[in-house]
Amino acid sequence: MKHQLTISVKNQGIAVERFLRVARHRGFRLTQLEMEGHDELFHVKMTVDSDKPIYLLTSQLSKLVEVHTVDLHSLQQQAI
């Protein structure tokens, strides 16, 4: 199932590597990625695909020190 997340992270290159690593390792395939840097924050829009429940990813991403917010948007809801 596909899920879209918006994540704001500290504007550091390593922060992006860190959350992409978590997504891969926890079994979520990246299908789309957009990033924009504003002042001290990166805003990332990311679509991932997995059979696993999405909270297994959001709970891990939320723990990362550089991550400020993780918001989940259900793609199916958006289609409706």
Partner 1 sequence: MTGAQLLIDLLAKHGVQEVFGYPGGAIMPIYDALYGAPVKHYLTRHEQGAGFAAVGYARSTGKLGVCFATSGPGATNLITALADAMMDSVPLLAITGQVPTAAIGSDAFQEIDVLGMSLSCTKHSYMVERAEDLAEVLQEAMHLAMSGRPGPVLVDIPKDIQLASAPFQPWLAMEEKLPELLNSEVQKAELLLSEAKRPIAYVGGGVQSAGAQAELMQFLNKTQMPAVSTLKALGSVLPEYEYDLGMLGMHGGQAANIAVQECDLLVCIGARFDDRVTGNLAKFAAKAKVIHLDIDPAEVGKRKPVAASLIADLKTSIPALGCFVTDEAWLRTIIQLKQQHAWRYDYPGEKVFAPYLLKELSKKMPTDGVVCCDVGQHQMWVAQHMTFSHPSNHLSSGGAGTMGFGLPAAIGAQIARPQNMVVTVSGDGSIMMNIQELATIRRNNLPVKIVILDNQRLGMVRQWQQLFFEGRYSETNLSDNPDFVQLAAVFGIPGQTITHAGEVDSAIDALVNSTGPYIVHACIDDKENVWPLVPPGAANDEMMTEKAQ
Examine residue 74 and tell whether it contacts partner 1 (CB under 8 A).
no
Examine residue 10 and tell whether it contacts partner 1 (CB under 8 A).
no
Contact 17, 33 (CB under 8 A): no
* Residue carrying structure tokens 């991932």: 48
The correct pick among 31, 49, 55, 76 for binding partner 1 (CB under 8 A) is: 55
Examine residue 29 and tell whether it contacts partner 1 (CB under 8 A).
no
The correct pick among 65, 77, 78, 80 for binding partner 1 (CB under 8 A) is: 65
**CA distance linking residue 59 with residue 3, whole number of Å:** 14
Contacts of residue 60, Cβ cutoff 8 Å, sequence gap at least 6? 22, 26
Give the binding site for partner 1 (CB under 8 A): 14, 17-18, 21, 25, 55-56, 59-60, 62-65
